[in-house]
Amino acid sequence: MKLHSNIIGEGTPFIILHGFLGMGDNWKTLAKKYSELGFQVHLVDQRNHGRSSHSDDFSYAYMSNDLLEYCNDHQLTNITLLGHSMGGKTAMDFACKNPSLINKLIIADIGPKYYAPHHQVILDSLAALNFTKITSRSDAEEILKKTISETGIRMFLLKNLYRVTKTTFGLRNNIKVLTEKVDEIGKSLTENLTFDKPTLFLRGDKSDYILDEDIDLINKHFKNATLKTVTNASHWLHAENPTEFFEYTSSFII
């Protein structure tokens, strides 16, 4: 599968993988800052997200293999790889299976453990958008307001809205398949996978995705891992405290 990407800057390859229902462009501001450090940043849309192709096949194995094809197509080696949430799970799987391609690994607010499904309200809300009646972005937001009270989450989701024609809208992500395969999102990293190179795990101090009791499991899979906590941040730690997020990540990769 050919993945869409936005490539910013020149230098050492740095791939960023977005989270569930996101897209590479969510990371554009930070990508520009990384490019100023001498990196060529690849903001990749994973399958069924952003501008990448849709497929009925959806799992971390598929997304990891997509990334391998992408790296081969772009002849990327000595890669710094950063993944957030779902993208972090893809990054873990990819790094463990392709360690020779990776220089350093950054995982943002996700652990290798199993997570119970918890996206159903959001998926149901997006599925409820009737694009035969929606004529503006504000129309879509009014519908989402009925079930999603947090403005930040609504704005994040509405980035998936695009004009199909001059008068009609649609969503870039494949809501049908993502809903059918939502259990794949929470699956744990395969038990026997390990990665020995430098790895930075970041968690938000207001997030419950990485708990202290998860550290042993992290160290089991990632033999050279460090865990840092970003203050005043929950699961979207890169958006809620980008300054501290950039400080931790830049000092790790330079």
Q: Report pLDDT for 144.
A: 95
pTM: 0.96
Q: Report pLDDT for 186.
A: 97
Catalytic (active site) residue 234: no
Task: Please give the average per-residue pLDDT across 129-136, as a whole number.
Answer: 93
Q: What is the 3-state secondary structure (H, E, C) of 75-123?
A: CCCCEEEEEECHHHHHHHHHHHHCHHHEEEEEEECCCCCCCCCCCHHHH
For residue range 44-99, list pLDDT tens digits in order: 999 999 999 999 999 999 999 999 999 999 999 999 999 999 999 999 999 999 99
Q: How far apart are CA 139 and CA 146, in angstroms?
A: 12
13's CB contacts (< 8 A; 6+ apart) are 39, 40, 42, 74, 76, 77, 78, 79, 80
Task: Please give the average per-residue pLDDT across 166-172, as a whole number.
Answer: 93
| Alpha helices (runs of H) in the chain, residue ranges in sequence order | 28-35, 60-73, 86-97, 120-127, 137-145, 151-158, 175-180, 215-221, 237-240, 242-253
pLDDT at 204 over 90: yes
Kindly list the structural domains of the chain, giving each domain's residue range(s) and its CATH number in brackets, ordered by start: 5-114+187-253 (3.40.50.1820), 120-180 (no CATH)
pLDDT at 211 over 90: yes
Catalytic (active site) residue 235: yes
Q: Choosing from 85, 125, 207, 234, which is the catalytic residue?
A: 85
Contact 68, 100 (CB under 8 A): no
> If pLDDT is split at 50, 70 and 90, which confidence band does 167 have?
confident
Task: Please give the average per-residue pLDDT across 109-114, as a whole number.
Answer: 98
Q: Choosing from 18, 42, 221, 235, which is the catalytic residue?
A: 235
Q: Nearest to residue 103, comparing CAs of 39, 46, 192, 45?
A: 39
Question: Please, what is the average pLDDT of the chain?
Answer: 97
